[in-house]
Structure 1
């Protein structure tokens, strides 16, 4: 993650400019890959803004043999209308990925192809439903995400913005977990409990912390701002801000 995307710097802080960059890239891609032209038109080129395309992404996950795509799309659009922060947070997540992930070939890649990014945006909707007494809808969307992306985020978990999720597969985030802005989460991370059946029982991950692949953080403990948890570490005790821990059990380095 030492390189940056070729996306124009002006676009990162301007949603309209970023959306234009995405559509330009999609048009070029559809011309160079004609077999995907209809897909790019459906997913990106026929939309007036990022929110419209994002609604389709989430509706595709929500829809099933039991919920029609049209009904799902209408429901997601209604959630967006009442909760604009969902779209703003999704844009922040996208900006972080475009700035930090050298493996992204096009500015639309996370929106269309990254399971972690897509699952996180679905979580934002399920979180709203959980908080507004639509728990059955929230649980259904969580289930669909788990089946589709192998990412299991409880609808009640609080997740900030500007989140960098790399790969995504196998991530589990428990009910009372908190993930603040700017956190990096690699595949296989678990933010779990220790067997307690009620109360506040999951980790609190503070701003700009880093969770390496397959790291396991258990219990109502704090991972401080800017702390780094090494790949495969098992953490059951508080980690102070800025500290790096590795190993089984995790210890400071």
Structure 2
């Protein structure tokens, strides 16, 4: 689901499976030919070319957004669309000494160069896992889960550079704007999808691996006033359903699945499923672990455990 956007279709997030389309939305082949670049092309450059092509298409379709799109994606602006100084999105840019400019100048790529590998991995995660994501440019400019993760990457760098007051100020602003609260010290991998994102909280000593998908209102928190290493460690390819709460320095193994609304206080081994409050581990009806399932953080399959664990089918 695109973070930060209202939807009228069915809810998701651990209680019901994504009803994924059989094929991507109908768009011109030159705009979104596939979810991955041809083997002969550099992935970052390819994604950036898709973003620019989509921005041109959207600017033609919606003139009210043309100036914003051309400025945001650094496209050559046609003379007829050149914004006046009073309406230009950059006309009110802060002076060089402001916190915003000092922060962004140190991490944002030039608008004429491809984004970093981690940004590209996050864009590809949203495009391939979220059936409501119709393009890279929409995710880049509008999806608050994606934007919150990128802002966290900035604050994490600032934290590592001992610029902690600025890192915490950025965390506070992101929490206000996106309703996503990720401590700057938390370690977050690449290929992350925050689906809807509202209410996600990730604590100071939490670690999130690569290719993890997290639904809205998920908490990776502590259990009280203890200090030190006190937050969850999430392995690669994990799927965490909506409203799930994982507390304490527990380990969620690679490829594990946490059901919606679960409260997890224990380690979850790799490729196991945890559901309930308090959560219990479940496998197949014969007691086996889900060894042959794709990584749920990538497949977004919330409900396979129900078919495997009981006679209830959906």
Task: Compute the TM-score of the two structures, normalised by the length of structure 2.
Answer: 0.69
**Are residues 1:40 and 2:69 paired?**
yes
Unaligned runs of 5+ in 2: 1-17, 26-31, 77-88, 110-114, 283-314
| CA distance, structure 2, for counterparts of residue 42 and residue 118 of structure 1 | 18
Q: Provide the residue aligned with 1:167 in structure 2.
A: 196
Structure having greater relative contact order (Cα 8 Å, sep ≥ 6): 2
**Are residues 1:216 and 2:251 paired?**
no
Deviations 1:40-60 (A, max 9, x none): 11211438xxxxxxxxxxxx9
- Indicate which of 97, 107, 121 corresponds to 1:79: 107
Unaligned runs of 5+ in 1: 48-59
Matched residue SS, 2:118:
helix
Deviations 1:152-197 (A, max 9, x none): 0000000000111101100000000000001110000000000133
Q: CA offset at residue 74 of structure 1?
A: 4.8
Paired positions, count: 233
More divergent stretch after superposition (38-47 vs 124-133): 38-47
Determine which structure has the larger helix proportion and give its number.
Answer: 1
Task: Compute the TM-score of the two structures, normalised by the length of structure 1.
Answer: 0.85
Matched residue SS, 2:194:
strand
| Aligned-residue RMSD, C-alpha | 2.3
Q: Provide the residue aligned with 2:55 in structure 1.
A: 26
Give the 3 Å change call, closer, same or farther, for CA 160–69 of structure 1 in structure 2: farther
Give the 3 Å change call, closer, same or farther, for CA 69–101 of structure 1 in structure 2: farther
Q: Provide the residue aligned with 2:269 in structure 1.
A: 240
Q: Provide the residue aligned with 2:177 in structure 1.
A: 148
Matched residue SS, 2:105:
helix
| CA distance, structure 2, for counterparts of residue 200 and residue 91 of structure 1 | 30
| CA distance, structure 2, for counterparts of residue 69 and residue 225 of structure 1 | 45
Larger Rg: 2
**Are residues 1:131 and 2:156 paired?**
no
Q: Provide the residue aligned with 1:8 in structure 2.
A: 33
- Indicate which of 189, 192, 208 corresponds to 2:221: 192
Q: Provide the residue aligned with 1:52 in structure 2.
A: none
Cα pair 2:47 2:120 within 8 Å, conserved? no
